[in-house]
Amino acid sequence: MKISIIGTGYVGLVSGTCFAETGNQVICVDIDENKLQRLRDGKVPIYEPQLDVLFERNIRQGRLKFTNSLKEAVDQTDLIFLALPTPPGEDGSADLSYVLNVAKELGEIISEYKVIVDKSTVPVGTAEKVNTAIQENAKVDFDVVSNPEFLREGFAVEDFLKPDRVVIGTSSERARKVMDELYRPFVRQGNPILFMDEKSAELTKYAANSFLATKISFMNEIANICELLEADVDKVRIGIGSDTRIGKRFLFPGIGYGGSCFPKDVQALIRSSNQVGYDFKILNSVEEVNSIQKTIIVPKIKNYFCGDLSGKRIALWGLAFKPDTDDIREAPSRYIIDELIESGAQISAFDPEAMDNVKAIYSDKINFGANEYEVLENADALLIATEWGVFRNPDFTRVSQLMKEKVIFDGRNLYDLQKMTSLGYRYYSIGRKDV
């Protein structure tokens, strides 16, 4: 099939590359010519495992192309995916200006039947707005489809190529047939393509992410009460996760969620609820809990140093909001850094992929190391903010030799309490006793 992807951000690049990988002809559209040239040269501007290999291969084999001309792409393709940014405003509402502006242009451009697909995460009712915007100038038939993405950063390629479900919102039988043909190769193992109306599809995305965010915040609250009741959150987690109705995933406590999806989608669903006069009490609490959780480890650090962090050297492992990505949007590390700097601490940080993004914000405020051990030299304490694999089994002998004190504040519960005790570390984690 012939596909155009409008927007070359995270969703656009992953979608375009994976569609090309299954034999489709894909044209990606962006207005930034410098970015386009880098893409044509095979340079992926984001870190996502496996993406670079597929990206380079499909460019080389001619299935993946790039242009700054919307008309050129539209004229050559039958399916048009809108993968444009929908940033949240101060009130939590999604900014649809990019989507609707392109929709208006499409109305002027299309000269034959096209299927236009909302791939961006958008509020309920956006498909109607896109349809109206196109209809203003369109002289031919078209259909607008809602097709939300469910990509986990760090696993996006796998999630796209082998989805556990594909959600498609359309009231058009013609569009339904086109979308079914497109996605059939991705669900050969029997996972469902779920067809529904456009509004239900749009809400499904917000509901899914908001539910997962709720699960995380609930577990973080359990962790906090575990500390007060002297229970062990790891044992509680295993105990409730063994119940198949609950499941094991998203039960790991820590310093909160971040990224581009959960915070934005929770906020957007709250906003959508308010617009129709509904007070979504649970989600308001989820947002509040997560805001507190991001810096909940800072008081532990301050208490250890008797309230005075002036001149204390803190080694920070992890900057991305989660492992296997360079994304620092709403990352807990940023909130922690801000509080520690304000308290007079000196920070040396390392992250396998996210340091360049953090340097753009904190280049003159914190130091960076070439590896996880370099930042430990003469450190008064180690703080872990992201559960990268490289941090899970460090050389503790080397760690203790480099640090002034053997003290670790672990925001992701990476280490066994017994082991840390036997190694002689002062160890503080989330929802477990301090050792």
Catalytic positions, written as ranges: 261
One-letter amino acid of 73: A
Other C-beta atoms lying within 10 Å of the C-beta of residue 198: 24
Q: Is 395 exposed, middle or buried (0-12, 13-18, 19+ CB in 10 A)?
A: exposed
| Paired residues of 169 in beta bridges | 146, 196
Selection from 318, 305, 297, 433 nearest residue 369 by Cα: 318
CB burial of residue 393 (10 Å; 0-12, 13-18, 19+): exposed
Cβ–Cβ under 8 Å, residues 88 and 115: no
DSSP 297: T
Helix (H) or strand (E) holding 427: strand 426-428
Q: Are 11 and 52 in contact (CB under 8 A)?
A: no
Give the strand pairing for 381-384 and 346-350. Answer: unpaired
Residue 277 neighbours by CB distance under 10 Å: 6
